[in-house]
Chains A and B, each alone.
Chain A
């Protein structure tokens, strides 16, 4: 892998196509993050092609969230090179939206739903300025895309878990980015929310955006995503579902924690 060339994509049938016009939204090389003496993520290489929808899957504590945080520079990396759209993150922040885990914030914070969504307009509003009615309208529009427009003035503490997650997604939509990085957006949400989120993510993909999700539910991987990255400290597999989401790669990632019968079921589901 060299930095200049390799602007190539491998299509589903294995053909290499050149994509000179679109640099890879996120390319990670040799990413190692360690809390203390044991690496959480070790020497991971990954590419997330433009317009793809990738699930990052692995057991608990396998470094899925850490991988995202390392790529975004939220945690310090021990080693590794990270490129967003072929450039350092500093220069491409505008094109990247990040949705942290819902549980990572205090929902008792004194703010309304609309206040949270408008945080996504931070870069647009600009330094030393306040959001105006134009920004408010944008925020409402993003809320309606996740079906939350009636909750704009609700205190965020009064929301259910699923509604909180939708607000977070609306905030990311407000950023109008090219690449969306989501950390466990489906964790602990109700079925209606899960459906709403998937719909929005597929819309994003249809609009040519790139989506990367940390995901924990193996049974929905093949229904929701077109690519997968299996990780258990090391990257175990990466690629289109058909290639990378196999009994062998799952066994390698989860080991005996996943019974062979379950794996067969997953395969049937994706077939």
Chain B
């Protein structure tokens, strides 16, 4: 085997999948952050569990598509419930969110315990950590496999799914860039222009849910929550331009995915331990370190926009 063959076979696919997942979540996360809805990502990833359990109970299989549809459906239901409770009960958004996602998560755990899912591979831990490490490219023999169609076809299917989802999200953001920017900055003005701000907000949440569910299947919910918030937040501290912020967030998502995976897989070796630690957890940790650093030295970490003294 040529040099790096082991790396290509064991690590390349997880790194690429982790990176795609991180970017897919970070992109809509930018707008969620600016809308002060950063925790929607948190809510969406909590309710994926009940969605998946219900999908399993309905279809009786653990095929990917029913699961993803179930999780996405649960996300939409959760967001609708949050909106309903907020409006009907006049409950503040944070509290409404807390009520909904804890309840749905509890319902998911209860359903899981009540139903006979012992034989199949859904459990809470899997939902949290994902199984990034197990996404091995069996057909690869080395870097040359990247040019081998037969070997490429053997790549883990999560990779293709995430690539498609990422493309969909990029298209959505580009197509509705103006609507998203205007309704995020000044909803009243957007409405007067005839932009349906409610629909734009809902579309953003649906895009986020799609990203979360595709990523969730591959990498678990910890990365999803962390990637919705951390790379955009870090990017927010680097620039005052929306386009650049999004570019920075893609960069930070990529670096945390790659560095996190490498630290998790090879870090313990440096300390003389043979066993790898959780890649999902490490990716979130690296994203947090980047954010911590930006909070201390990011060039645009301070608030602007308090009305300065008129001159």
Partners in one complex: yes
Which residue of the partner chain, among B181, B189, B193, B307, contacts A164 with CB atoms under 8 Å? B307
Smallest CB gap from A191: residue in B: B310
Inter-chain contact A111/B307, CB cutoff 8 Å: no
Q: Are B308 and A156 in contact (CB under 8 A)?
A: no
Most A CB contacts (10 A, CB to CB) among B192, B308, B310 go to B192
CB interface residues, A 66-107, toward B, < 8 Å: 69, 72-74, 90, 93, 96, 98-100, 104-107
Write out the residue numbers on chain B whose beta carbons fall within 8 Å of the beta carbon of A112. Answer: 240-241
Instruction: Give B35 Cβ to nearest chain A Cβ, in Å.
Output: 10
Q: With A125-B178, A155-B304, A158-B304 as given contacts, are A93 and B191 in contact (CB-CB < 8 Å)?
A: no
With A72-B192, A105-B186, A110-B236: A130-B307 Cβ-Cβ less than 8 Å: no
A188–B308 CA distance with the chains assembled, in angstroms: 11
Chain A CB within 8 A of B58 CB = no
Known A108-B305, A109-B185, A156-B305; judge A122-B193 contact (CB<8 A): yes
Cβ-defined contact, B192 with A74, below 8 A? yes
Interface residue? A185 (CB, 8 A): no
Bound CA–CA A100/B187 (angstroms): 10
Contact B240 A157 (CB under 8 A): yes
Q: How many angstroms between the C-alpha atoms of A106 and B177 in the bound complex?
A: 19
**Is A200 interfacial (CB-CB < 8 Å)?**
no
* Closest residue of A by beta carbon distance from B304: A157
With known contacts A110-B240, A111-B242, A115-B242, A157–B193 Cβ distance under 8 A: no
Residues of chain B lying within 8 A (CB to CB) of residue A171 = 189
Please give, as numbers and ranges, the residues of chain B lying within 8 Å of A109 by CB-CB distance: 34, 184-185, 242, 305
B308 touches A93 (CB 8 A): no
Q: With A and B bound together, what is the CA distance between A116 and B185 in angstroms?
A: 9
Contact of A123 among B194, B304, B307, B310 (CB under 8 A): B194
With A106-B305, A160-B310, A161-B308 as contacts: A119 and B245 at CB distance below 8 Å: no
A157-B240, A160-B308 given as contacts; is B186 within 8 A of A108 (CB)?
no
B194 with A105: CB separation less than 8 A:
no
Q: How far is the CB of B154 from chain A (nearest CB, A)?
A: 38
Q: Is the CB of B192 within 8 A of A98?
A: yes
Which B2-47 residues have a C-beta within 8 angstroms of A?
Answer: 34
Taking the complex as formed, is A162 at the interface, i.e. its CB lies under 8 A from any CB of chain B? yes
Residue ID in chain B nearest A159 by CB atoms: B308
Shortest CB distance B43–A (Å): 22
8 A Cβ contacts from B153-202 to A? 175, 177-178, 181-182, 184-186, 188-189, 191-195
**B90 to chain A: closest residue by CB:** A36
Interface string of B77-108 (1 = CB under 8 A from A): 00000000000000000000000000000000
> Considering the chains assembled together, what is the distance between the CA atoms of A69 and B189 in angstroms?
10
Q: Does any Cβ of A come within 8 Å of B121's Cβ?
A: no
Determine the chain B residues whose CB is within 8 A of the CB of A119 once the complex forms: 178, 181-182, 185-186, 189, 193
Cβ contacts A to B, 19 pairs, < 8 Å: A93-B192, A93-B193, A105-B186, A106-B305, A107-B305, A107-B307, A108-B303, A110-B34, A110-B240, A115-B242, A116-B185, A119-B178, A119-B193, A122-B178, A158-B304, A159-B308, A160-B311, A161-B308, A190-B310
- Extra inter-chain contacts (7) besides given A111-B241, A112-B240, CB under 8 Å: A74-B188, A93-B192, A107-B306, A107-B307, A108-B303, A108-B305, A155-B240
Q: Point out residues on B near A: beta carbons under 8 Å.
A: 34, 175, 177-178, 181-182, 184-186, 188-189, 191-195, 236, 239-242, 244-245, 303-311
